[in-house]
Chain A
Amino acid sequence: MTTLHLDWTRCRGRGGCVELLPELIGRDEWGYPLTATDVPVPRALRGAAEQAVRDCPRMALQLSPRFAE
Chain B
Amino acid sequence: MRVLFRKSYLQDIRLFRDGVQAAWYGGFLALALSAPLWLDGYFLDELALVYIYAIAGLGLMILTGFSGQVSFGQAAFVAIGAYAHTILMGRYGLPFVLSLPATALVAGLAGAAVGRVCSRMHGLYLAIATLSVAIVTERLLGGGGAFTGGHRGLPVPEMTILGLAMDDSWKTYLVNLTLFTGAILLTRNLLRTRSGRALIAVRDSEVSARALGVNVAFFKTWAFFLSAAFAGVAGAMLAHAFYYVTPEVFGMNESIRLLLMVVVGGLGTIHGAVFGAFFIVLLPTVLSLIKVWLPAAIAQSGGFDSLIFGLILLVFILFEPDGLYGRWQKVHHFFSVFPMYKKRGFQRQKTFLKTERLR
* Bound pair (A, B): no
Contact surface of A with B, Cβ cutoff 8 Å:
none
Q: Measuring CB to CB, which residues of chain B are less than 8 angstroms from any residue of chain A?
A: none
